[in-house]
Amino acid sequence: MATRSRSRPGRRPHSADSAGREQLLDAALGVFAERGIANTTVAQIAAAGRVTSAMVHYWFDTRERLLDAVADERLAPLIHRVWGPVESEQDDPTELVRALAVRLFDLTEQAPWLAPLWLREIVQEGGQLRERVLKRIPADPNAALRRSISRGQERGRINPQIAPGLIFISLFALIMLPQAAARMRSSIRLVRRFNPDLVLDRASLERHVVALLLHGISA
Is the predicted pLDDT of residue 9 greater than 50, yes or no? no
Give me the mean pLDDT over the 63-72 stretch.
Answer: 95
pLDDT tens digit sequence for 185-217 = 555 565 556 666 666 678 888 888 888 888 888
Is the predicted pLDDT of residue 125 greater than 60, yes or no? yes
pLDDT value, residue 5: 36
Bridge partners of 158, per DSSP, are 218
> Given phi > 0 = left and psi -120 to 50 = alpha, else beta, which region is 29?
alpha
Give me the mean pLDDT over the 115-131 stretch.
Answer: 92
Question: What's the DSSP call for residue 83?
Answer: H
pLDDT tens digit sequence for 31-57 = 999 999 999 999 999 999 999 999 999
Is the predicted pLDDT of residue 158 greater than 80, yes or no? yes
pLDDT tens digit sequence for 81-116 = 888 776 554 578 888 888 899 999 999 999 999 999
pTM: 0.78
Domains of the chain: 12-61 (1.10.10.60), 67-217 (1.10.357.10)
Mean pLDDT (the chain) is 83
Measured from the Cβ of residue 162, the count of other Cβ atoms closer than 10 Å reads 20
Query: Angle 93-110/76-83 helices, nearest 10 degrees?
Result: 160
- Least Cα distance to 21 among 69, 64, 62, 67 occurs for 69
pLDDT value, residue 75: 94
